[in-house]
Amino acid sequence: MDFFAPIADRIPFIIQGIPATLQFTVLSVLFGFIWGTLLALLKISAIRPLGLLADVYTSIFRGTPLIVQISLVYYASPGLTDMLGLRPIDALTAGVLVFSLNSGAYVSETIRGGILAVDKGQRDAAMSLGIPYGAMMIDIIAPQALKNILPALLNETINVLKDTAQVSVIGVLEVLRRADVVAKEKFVFFQPYLIAAFIYYVMIMTMTLIASTYERRLRRSD
């Protein structure tokens, strides 16, 4: 372990970035999922203008780089908050906000596809039993759609987790930013970034494991 000796005392410092990274991921995926569900419902709604609005939204967030969106919200928003007499948004809020808005755009397409992929007959059956739209969507359509899109959602969560590394540009002390700090402190670069990569990998493998266990449980009706 001589290889890591130059930064050994700072490894715990990098590891301490895990909570920040996870916090970003969990909050962003959660809000992104809620927001994405809402967008998906707009997209499949019978009211065309709402669907169009959601489509435009999606195209903007998918059509611009995430790091540009982060920079816009964090560095450009103080002008706006100033004008409104509000406090400027802090880095964490800005990060979560952008990730949620961005992830919502991607997830909405996944959810829309998942809902449309559920056999139309399920709707017919639910309607013929007099089940109202809301209950039908929640109890009949959503569980089947969710099962179909679970792999895609896991993928999105992994993407978000990896993308959180980009908030290091706005100074949040997550895993990558901490590796940065150590690298510049000790003038060794390979080891801290290797540690960071390893931490990301372990987090993602853990997530994959949890998700596949959950997926197996969902598939018990097959």
Partner 1 sequence: MIEVNNLHKSFGNLHVLRGITTRIEQGSVVAVIGPSGCGKSTFLRCLNLLEKPTQGEIWIGNTQMTHPQTDVMKVRQKLGMVFQHFHLFPHMTVLENLTYAPMKVKGIPKGQAVAKAEELLARVGLADKAGTYPSRLSGGQKQRVAIARSLAMEPEVMLFDEPTSALDPEMVREVLDVMKALAHTGMTMIVVTHEMGFAREVADRICFFDQGQIAEDAAPAEFFRQPKSERAKQFLEKML
**Residues engaged in binding partner 1 (CB under 8 A):** 119, 121-122, 124-125, 127-132, 135, 139-140, 143-144, 147, 220-222
Nearer to partner 1, 49 or 130 (CB): 130
CB atoms within 10 A of CB 90: 12
Residues 6+ apart with CB under 8 A from 90: none
Give the span between the Cα atoms of 206 and 214, in whole angstroms.
13
Work out how close the CB of 152 gets to partner 1 at its nearest, in angstroms, rounded to a whole number: 18
Question: Which C-beta is closer to partner 1: that of 147 or that of 186?
Answer: 147
Q: Would you say 90 or 124 has its CB closer to partner 1?
A: 124
Q: How far is the CB of 151 from partner 1 (least distance, A)?
A: 17
Query: Nearest Cα to 126, choosing from 142, 113, 108, 110?
Result: 142
In whole angstroms, how close is the CB of 34 to partner 1 at the nearest point? Answer: 22
Distance in Å, CB of 127 to partner 1, minimum: 6
With vertex at residue 68, the alpha carbon angle to CA 89 and CA 107, rounded to the nearest 5 degrees, is: 85
d(CA 54, CA 61): 11
Which CB sits closer to partner 1, 8 or 117?
117
